[in-house]
Structure 1
Amino acid sequence: MTGAMSESRTPDERDMPDWERRFRAPRVSLPDWAEDAPDRSLFVSNATGTYELYAWDRATGEQRQATDRPNGTTDGVLSPDGAWIWWFDDKDGDEFGIWRRQPFTGGPDEPAVPGLAPSYPAGLALSRDGRTAVVGRSTDDDGTTIHLAREGAAPVEIYRHRESAGVGDLSHDGSLIAVEHTEHGDAMHAALRVLRPDGTTVAELDDTKGGTEELGLEVLGFAPVDGDTRLLIGHQRRGRWEPLVWDVATGEETDLALDLPGDVSAEWYPDGSALLIAHGFEARSELFRYDLAARELTRIPTPPGTVSGATARPDGSVEYLWSSAAEPPAVRSTAGGVVLDPPGMACPPSVPVEDVWVEGPGGRIHALIQKPAGATGPLPTVFDLHGGPTWHDSDSFAAGPAAWVDHGYAVIRINYRGSTGYGRAWTDALKHRVGLIELEDVAAVREWAITSGLADPARLVLTGASWGGYLTLLGLGTQPDAWALGIAVVPVADYVTAYHDEMEALKAMDRTLLGGTPEEVPDRFAASSPLTYVDQVKAPVYISAGVNDPRCPIRQIDNYVKRLESRGAVHEVYRYDAGHGSLVVDERIKQVALELDFARRHLGA
């Protein structure tokens, strides 16, 4: 697959509204660079109108489109030597497939690991020369398996368990393999195991044992130095995510104990002497350099907003992808300027967010507010609920909320209990009363929005995608008098059927959240399922769904829609040929246009 990144053919810009331009404007991800060939990079862009992978030779400036599929491609990895691009090939967005590879300089694609049947991906790590891979796989029949695959030899299974697991990293010399696993049955809190290539265990670290609360661990990466047995990990021992360095050979743990509020993550500088620290707090983020020998923390200047990815280069500079709610994303460098500027139309800015803190039943709730410039309330207001649920909204650029603002709406995004970034207790709070706890926080912010004069109580829209779509349908049924309209995108609608049809890793998460399977805890599944409350829904409902979605499968949505139909409830359904969302720009624009039109017809706003 070849072809340079170029401006896609688009409608006449003069007749295009700003909200559509924000979707069409070419964007690029933070470039991933090959550790042993740093001039070779891989990035994602929508320059052709579909998100695909691009190879970039920094030495020559040449850019080459590496993948070209109708539904797009975003899951790709460069081998450390820069010779190969590995990418995951599924069918129409169903996330079930195989890894393929192609030469960085171009050429035909080939199965990267012959002999491995299609599966859901569960992590990938490549050796320095790209000839050895550690491949994680997830299927309903086998749970999670991890294979060691050497070029020219059949893949060998080195790990298997019914519960979810994933490949963390492969050490610089290929002698150690870090695995995150949830063999204890709590999919929200992983333990760590380090294996040799033959599958035998070198070391274990499990913070879920011995305490009154289960704490999670995550792999951040082995030290990028040959023979170095230090593994950078994240832990939650003080109620938030923080990094520490674990020497898997000696067992020594170096706790950084950084005096920073909020969540902290890290990655290695290329020589292993320092860490690039990513600090997130109250919906914003910033960067630091931590010198391991001196134990000194130095702030790296970045503009106010959100850094959604960062990497330290061999010359000591740091490249990062930055945006704010008002300013579109850009890949910047501490060396100065924009690193990778896509061709084509410029992305129009939007309006900044305002922070609001509302007292809720479980503590202070952080909400981010956008509204048309100069507008005064009460306004038609969209409550846009994020997915996850272990995610959070931030002061970052988002074309969807900006489209609502352009059409005269205020937009409120809520970091309800279950969201990340506000401590482990906040994230873990929704166990067993799934959905209902989040909606208590939404109700508190809704009450604030009305009493403050911002929101018109007769024109409130509840919307969201994925978990946000689930909360939308659940909210319409459990709070039927609170909402004038509901727009649910790729939602969970019938929790029991969704459990039985979804990918195995999500089944494990649901068992953790609800305390068992639908057969073991039927009352909890019923209490948390939108289908239970469908007969109470009063507001018009719009649902969009991908027919190949493995996360929120189509059958359970059809079950919900049939119940709406049987009642004669006002509703519209849009099904499209993709998975959990679309990587095609035209399709995404079509979906937003349909949502805006549905709101216009039913609210007159």
Structure 2
Amino acid sequence: MTDHPVAKVPERLFDDPAAEARWRTRFTAPRTSLPDWARDAPDHSLYISNTSGVWEIYAWDRATDSHRQVTDRPNGTYHGLVSPDGKTIWWFADTDGDEFGRWVVEPFHGGGERGDGLSGTHAGYPAGIEVGLRHVALGVSTDDGSTIWVSRDGRAEVIYQHEQDAGVGALSRDETLLAISHSEHGDSRHPALRVVRVADGGTVAEKWDGPGKGLDALEFSPVSGDSRLLVLHERRGREELLLWDVAADTETEIQLDLPGEVSATWYPDGEALLVVHTHWARSALYRYDLDGGELVALEIPPGTVGSASVRPDGVIEYSWSSAEQPPVVRALLPDGSDRVLLEPAGERAAPSQPLTDAFVVSRGGDVHALVARPEGAGEGPLPTVFCLHGGPHAADEDRFSAYRAVWLDAGFAVVHVNYRGSTGYGSAWRDAIEGRPGLTELEDVAAVHDWAVRTGLADPVRCVVAGASWGGYLTLLALGTQPERWAAGVAGVPVADYVAAYADEMEPLRAYDRALFGGSPDDLPDLYRECSPMTYVDAVQAPLLLLAGENDPRCPIRQIENYLDRLAERGAGYEVYRYDAGHGSLVVAETIRQTLAEVDFARRVVTLS
């Protein structure tokens, strides 16, 4: 094995103690997710929090306002849910962040034994779970494909199995119907839906909108015996809602006079929907009455809603933040008043700078960029970090980011690029990268880079490209195909050698890659080479910091080592940070160490320190 230069991790970024404490506190400040609650025992809630210094699962008994840390694992725990009766907690146990494992169950109040959630199943990557009072539906994926079990009389029985990617979608309130998301047509990026009987696995109804048009099962009606399934569709080029009565196999499209895209959840009586509306990287909440079709805006602060739900008493709980204000869980009461619901004890994160919008003309259309400037900075030109989000089907939004804030504190302007492939801008924008991933997005990055330099924001000789996951992939690809643009690159958990990555990655991602590229590396060897950073490694000129997880199933370590070995052969300037976890870390101290390495590296390269 080649010995690679190890990244420097300084003790601090700033000499000023107050400045140093401020950026660290943004990471260490206690935060929680939106609590989930037991359907039939709503005082029993579950959330994840970083209170212990690691993101773990917590139980909250609202009646006594008591909180219990459920999990305590070296690399954290992220997936969990509470049973409808509030008696048990289910959580997914993997090994050191490798995402491969089993569901575990234990009593809500603790004190009892933990055990396999559903005996008779095998380990795998999680592919959805629905826990009812009588039945459990549980899905996993492995290299052999997808398997879904249901529990009948305490035994796990296979109800679905296929070599293509699939997962549990939704379980009806009376537990007689199960919606399955599948890609038997070969395109896991645009799934179809099948509803089967829990009793015998027989098909009740099917729905597929054809090539390039996916369907997503959100929730069955909360009313027992009501077979309406709330579904996301994209028949008109953006994500919209429909109600599918699977028993009658009839549907009603819900057309809302709103730009952008929507998602929704049910009100408890099944007579209205809580709609989350996303447009230009910001969110709003609405109530939509199914009978009269009335859409009413709900008063919440400007920013981004992470998730939202309606309690049995009509209180709307939602997680919220903005670029300036740190995240908080809020409650919107029926009388219209709004209050903080859940804020753990401890020092609050300091606020940060606002984001402004830019719409930049690119080959594929106008690219939406979000721009933040350091406090007190002049007009420019400024050292600038171009942050490329992961996914690729995700988006940067007007939400709080401790990571963005530390770059600003260090004197960098920050530009987020919602390139083609991003969500929230319609199906055509999201799918524009099909058949040419990576290179398509970088056309948009180049256009935004040109705009930032042309307008005097960015100093052309002090531009840093940075990202993790798909953003890390784009960073490596940018360094190799646009070497003249970048003074430095910071690539976290990237795809570096696409052919080797495909061979080693988890099967759901192989299915995703086949859908994205139009086939496997055996089918399309030239295209995979064209879109692989490994192809352009010899053209990399700028210094590079690469961060990699030893147990990463999404961007495996071998393909990263291939890339690093080639950098070493040609004597390139680079540093490596390796850590013992998976595709990122749930440990706050580890996140801080990585941030120290990243920002210090960039400051050294562009001579800011």
TM-score class normalised by the smaller sequence: over 0.9
SS of the counterpart of 1:101?
A: strand
Deviations 1:13-63 (A, max 9, x none): 968431111001010100011111111100010001000000001111000
Q: Distance in 1 between matches of 2:212 and 2:559?
A: 32
Q: Residue in 2 aligned with 1:517? A: 520
TM-score normalised per structure 1: 0.96
Per the TM alignment, residue 374 of structure 1 is displaced from its structure 2 partner at its CA by 2.6
CA 1:255/1:28 → structure 2, altered by over 3 Å: closer, same or farther? same
SS of the counterpart of 2:262?
A: strand
Q: Residue in 1 aligned with 2:419? A: 416
Task: Give 1:91's aligned amino acid.
Answer: T
Q: Residue in 1 aligned with 2:285? A: 287
Per the TM alignment, residue 181 of structure 1 is displaced from its structure 2 partner at its CA by 0.6
CA 1:361/1:463 → structure 2, altered by over 3 Å: closer, same or farther? same
Per the TM alignment, residue 132 of structure 1 is displaced from its structure 2 partner at its CA by 2.0
Q: Distance in 2 between matches of 1:115 and 1:19?
A: 47
Q: Distance in 1 between matches of 2:125 and 2:283?
A: 31
Question: What is the number of residues matched between the two proteins?
Answer: 586
Q: Residue in 2 aligned with 1:192? A: 193
Q: 1:241 aligns with which of 221, 239, 242?
A: 239
Q: Distance in 2 between matches of 1:563 and 1:151?
A: 56
RMSD across aligned C-alpha pairs, in angstroms?
1.2
Q: Residue in 1 aligned with 2:254? A: 256
Task: Give 2:95's aligned amino acid.
Answer: K
Q: Residue in 1 aligned with 2:464? A: 461
Q: Residue in 2 aligned with 1:300? A: 298
Deviations 1:75-102 (A, max 9, x none): 0011111111100000000000000011
Deviations 1:76-132 (A, max 9, x none): 0111111111000000000000000111111332111122221111000111x2x42
SS of the counterpart of 1:64?
A: strand
CA 1:251/1:414 → structure 2, altered by over 3 Å: closer, same or farther? same
Q: Residue in 2 aligned with 1:370? A: 372
**Unaligned residue ranges in structure 1 (runs of 5+):** 1-11
Deviations 1:198-219 (A, max 9, x none): 21100000001xxxx5211000
Per the TM alignment, residue 149 of structure 1 is displaced from its structure 2 partner at its CA by 2.1
Q: 2:558 aligns with which of 555, 565, 569?
A: 555
Matched residues, percent identical?
59
Q: How does 1:40-439 map to 2 (within 5 A)?
A: 40-107=44-111, 108-127=113-132, 129=133, 131-141=134-144, 143-150=145-152, 152-153=154-155, 155-197=156-198, 198-208=200-210, 214-335=212-333, 336-376=338-378, 377-439=380-442
Q: Distance in 2 between matches of 1:545 and 1:292?
A: 48
Per the TM alignment, residue 317 of structure 1 is displaced from its structure 2 partner at its CA by 1.5
Per the TM alignment, residue 596 of structure 1 is displaced from its structure 2 partner at its CA by 1.1
Deviations 1:382-426 (A, max 9, x none): 000000000000000011111100000000001000000000000
Deviations 1:537-579 (A, max 9, x none): 0000100011000000011000000000000000011110000
CA 1:451/1:14 → structure 2, altered by over 3 Å: closer, same or farther? closer
Per the TM alignment, residue 254 of structure 1 is displaced from its structure 2 partner at its CA by 1.2
Q: 1:568 aligns with which of 562, 568, 571?
A: 571
Task: Give 1:187's aligned amino acid.
Answer: S
Q: Distance in 2 between matches of 1:214 and 1:404?
A: 38
CA 1:443/1:431 → structure 2, altered by over 3 Å: closer, same or farther? same
Q: Distance in 2 between matches of 1:195 and 1:20?
A: 50
Q: 1:533 aligns with which of 532, 536, 542?
A: 536
Q: Distance in 2 between matches of 1:45 and 1:121?
A: 21
Higher mean C-alpha deviation, range 469-478 or range 290-299: 290-299
Q: Distance in 2 between matches of 1:76 and 1:491?
A: 27
Q: Distance in 2 between matches of 1:573 and 1:244?
A: 48
Task: Give 1:177's aligned amino acid.
Answer: L
Q: Distance in 2 between matches of 1:236 and 1:57?
A: 39
SS of the counterpart of 2:24?
A: helix
Task: Give 1:175's aligned amino acid.
Answer: T
TM-score normalised per structure 2: 0.95
Task: Give 1:275's aligned amino acid.
Answer: L
Task: Give 2:235's aligned amino acid.
Answer: R
Task: Give 2:89's aligned amino acid.
Answer: I
Q: Distance in 2 between matches of 1:305 and 1:337?
A: 16
Q: Distance in 2 between matches of 1:430 and 1:56?
A: 43
Task: Give 1:600's aligned amino acid.
Answer: R
SS of the counterpart of 1:564?
A: helix
Per the TM alignment, residue 298 of structure 1 is displaced from its structure 2 partner at its CA by 0.7
Deviations 1:135-171 (A, max 9, x none): 1110002x01111124632x11111111111100110
SS of the counterpart of 2:503?
A: helix
Q: 1:34 aligns with which of 30, 35, 38?
A: 38
1:450 and 2:419 correspond: no
Task: Give 2:417's aligned amino acid.
Answer: I
Q: Distance in 2 between matches of 1:151 and 1:56?
A: 30
CA 1:341/1:428 → structure 2, altered by over 3 Å: closer, same or farther? same
Deviations 1:420-469 (A, max 9, x none): 00000000000111100000000000000000000000000000000000
Q: Distance in 1 between matches of 2:601 and 2:230?
A: 48
Per the TM alignment, residue 74 of structure 1 is displaced from its structure 2 partner at its CA by 1.1
Q: Residue in 1 aligned with 2:7? A: none
Q: Distance in 2 between matches of 1:401 and 1:275?
A: 34
Q: Residue in 1 aligned with 2:585? A: 582
Q: Distance in 1 between matches of 2:567 and 2:345?
A: 46
Q: Residue in 2 aligned with 1:18? A: 22
Q: Residue in 2 aligned with 1:7? A: none
Q: Residue in 2 aligned with 1:8? A: none
Q: Residue in 2 aligned with 1:3? A: none
1:484 and 2:482 correspond: no
Task: Give 2:329's aligned amino acid.
Answer: V
Q: Distance in 2 between matches of 1:15 and 1:331?
A: 27
Task: Give 2:415's aligned amino acid.
Answer: I
Q: How does 1:465-476 map to 2 (within 5 A)?
A: 465-476=468-479
Q: Distance in 2 between matches of 1:152 and 1:514?
A: 42
Q: Distance in 2 between matches of 1:365 and 1:420?
A: 12
Deviations 1:467-501 (A, max 9, x none): 00000000000001110000000000000010010
Q: Distance in 1 between matches of 2:418 and 2:494?
A: 18
